[in-house]
A and B are shown apart, each in its own frame.
Chain A
């Protein structure tokens, strides 16, 4: 049995190389996010945002931009027969899950590294919220990656692949979004970051991540069976 770590590294490396080589989804995700910010500026008729409004705009945009990317995660796998190769390989099936989720985590992190500063420049008058925001971003990323991988791998074999991922994913991430907006609303406060309730919201998001990590880990191999 190939040690899981080498298999994991190999799969992860392959995914990152593929994405970097073709630059498939990232530009679209970034463009989507920036355009959405512009639309928000005009539809809300605001040039600065604070509090829960800032959090709402940021998280909604990140959510939908992320879904664009999640759709594509397994497409290359399906098209190039990667699933069969992994099924035949003598490795623990769940390595695929961990590798995919990690790759997705990194994609989303890259997306956020680009998009969040743009958001800050567009709408925030003071950047002190950004440091604690990283904690929220990382926690939410984990949840997105785990659920995104799970849902995407279910949807990839169906006929309406592009529709199914948003359809299934959106209700599932609502609690995570509630926690994210709850945690960040205080951070964007006009008077400076307010940490009231920050810890408990992060805890909820963390709990959510933990539960779905376990669920995903437990059920993923059933998704690979032929």
Chain B
């Protein structure tokens, strides 16, 4: 993923999110069952879906990295996972706020999607200590790709298992966008989803740009040091073109 078109994308993201949030607070009708607090979902659900898709995309990039050896896929994988983990924090906090509003507790074990997400989030948090514990750059990239693939395969399994465990005891409390949503809510949801997805891409691109620039500077620094006989270096994944 390159930095091209970042400016246009950021502006588009901003506009979409503004329109989305305006729809949420000024236009869409109140939910009959849950009232005003239902509006959290227009933020919480898109964040969750985008984060999960991001994790899976990270796995796909990991796979492509192993296949081709092209380091750019590894950089993509790293950034996709990084941004998705950040979104994950927001998912868990907004989920906790919803739980508090609905059940009076900051956390509920009854909501399978939230619990599944927590487990996935914890797994991906281990990506960083894992990555930085391996010193050799090539090996680090390869192992990280293996991790990304394994974790990507894990996501659907995890949701399935937790879902099964909960449905035995409690009926689903959380009605999402699938089926039964009135058009106005669906439209609002889709706009918010588009905005959040674009935000994800914007942040990913931004991070890629930052990495590229840092990488180039390191490269220049190394060239200069070699010429002049100095030394230096670091471990983190970088993008050098």
Contacts and interface: CB of A to CB of B under 8 A. Distances in A.
Contacts of B147: 154, 168
Given A172-B154, A178-B165, A182-B164, A154 B119 contact: no
A178 B161 contact: yes
Contacts of A215: 149-150, 153
A94 to B, nearest CB: 14
A208 B145 CA distance: 20
Interface residues of B, number: 31
Contacts, number: 90
Contacts of B119: 171, 174-175
A175 B66 CA distance: 27
A194 to B, nearest CB: 13
A124 B126 CA distance: 37
B164 A223 contact: no
B133 A175 contact: no
A53 to B, nearest CB: 16
Interface residues of A, number: 33
Contacts of A178: 161-162, 164-165
B168 interface: yes
Contact of A204 (B122, B142, B149, B160): B160
B157 interface: yes
A218 B67 CA distance: 11
B165 A160 contact: no
Interface string A43-74: 00000000000000000000000000000000
A130 to B, nearest CB: 24
Contacts of A208: 157, 161
Given A212-B153, A219-B149, A157 B161 contact: no
Given A158-B134, A159-B133, A174 B146 contact: no
Interface of A: 150, 154-155, 157-160, 163-164, 167-168, 171-172, 174-176, 178-179, 182, 197, 200-201, 204, 207-208, 211-212, 215, 218-219, 222-223, 225
Closest 9 pairs (CB-CB, A-B): A175-B161, A171-B123, A158-B133, A178-B161, A219-B146, A171-B122, A158-B134, A160-B133, A175-B158
